Structure 1
Amino acid sequence: MHFWAFIGSLLLASGVAMGAYGAHGLRAIVDVPRSIEAFEYAVQYQLISALGFFAIAWATNHFKAGLVNLAGLLLLIGSIGFSLSIYLLVLAQWRPWPLVTPISGGFMIAAWIVMALACLTSKPKHSSFY
């Protein structure tokens, strides 16, 4: 089993489920257009991040594993914190830590900067890209 691909798969499955709920059940409990839009953004970012974990899984075999795994950890913290904080705000009107969402977004950005550094500073082990 590859851990990052496993995480990506779980986030894809739960993201599709949350998207389906957003499309079919959310409007029954939320009637504020801005909240519905925020929920849709949370789903979108979750799904995009989930696909990113497959890139990270691939990169662990091609670039410096330490940096790639750090990128994976940052992305995991960021994507869960970002989407979960919005889901909680929309579904439960609960926002215990207002800065979780923007800080989590910062973690996601940092993950891809670290990944860029891994790509830039690593001599590829083997690759089908070049």
Structure 2
Amino acid sequence: MHIWAFLGALMLASGIALGAYGAHGLRAAVTVPRLIESYEYAVLYQLISGLGFFAVAWATQHFKAWLVNIAGILLLIGSLGFSVSLYLLVLIQWRPFPLVTPISGFFMIAAWVVMAIAALTSQPKRSSFY
């Protein structure tokens, strides 16, 4: 089992489920447009991160694995912190740590910067893209 692909699949499956709830049930529970928009951003970033984990899984075979794994950890921290903090805010109006969302966004950005460094500093191992 490849942990990054596994996490990507879980993120995508739960993102689709949460997106479906947002499209069909959320408006009955939440009437503030800004909160609905925040929920939609949480789902969007979760889905993007889910695909990102598949990129991380691929990259471990093609770039410096230790750097790619750092990127994966940063992406995991960032994507969970970002989306979960917004889900909690929208669904139960709970925001114990107001800076979790922006700090988590920074972690997601850092993940892709580390991935870029891994791509830039690695010799191609095998790929039809080179």
1:49-128 matches, cutoff 5 A: 49-128=49-128
Which consecutive segments of 4 or more residues in structure 1 shift more than 6 A?
Answer: none
Amino acid at match of 1:55: A
Amino acid at match of 1:125: K
5+ residue gaps, structure 1, are: none
In the alignment, what sits opposite 1:16?
16
Q: State the alpha-carbon separation in 2 of the partners of residues 115 and 23 from structure 1.
A: 33
Root mean square deviation of aligned Cα:
0.4
Q: State the alpha-carbon separation in 2 of the partners of residues 124 and 78 from structure 1.
A: 28
Displacement after TM superposition at 1:124 (Å): 1.3
Q: State the alpha-carbon separation in 2 of the partners of residues 14 and 98 from structure 1.
A: 24
Q: State the alpha-carbon separation in 1 of the partners of residues 29 and 37 from structure 2.
A: 14
Classify the secondary structure of the residue corresponding to 2:69. Answer: helix
Displacement after TM superposition at 1:57 (Å): 0.3
1:38-57 matches, cutoff 5 A: 38-57=38-57
Count of aligned positions: 130
Q: State the alpha-carbon separation in 1 of the partners of residues 53 and 81 from structure 2.
A: 16
Displacement after TM superposition at 1:127 (Å): 1.1
Amino acid at match of 1:12: L
Q: State the alpha-carbon separation in 2 of the partners of residues 57 and 127 from structure 1.
A: 14
Deviation string 1:67-105 (CA, Å, 9 cap, x unpaired) is 000000000000000000000000000001000000000
Q: State the alpha-carbon separation in 2 of the partners of residues 40 and 92 from structure 1.
A: 16
In the alignment, what sits opposite 2:37?
37
TM-score with structure 1 length normalisation? 0.99
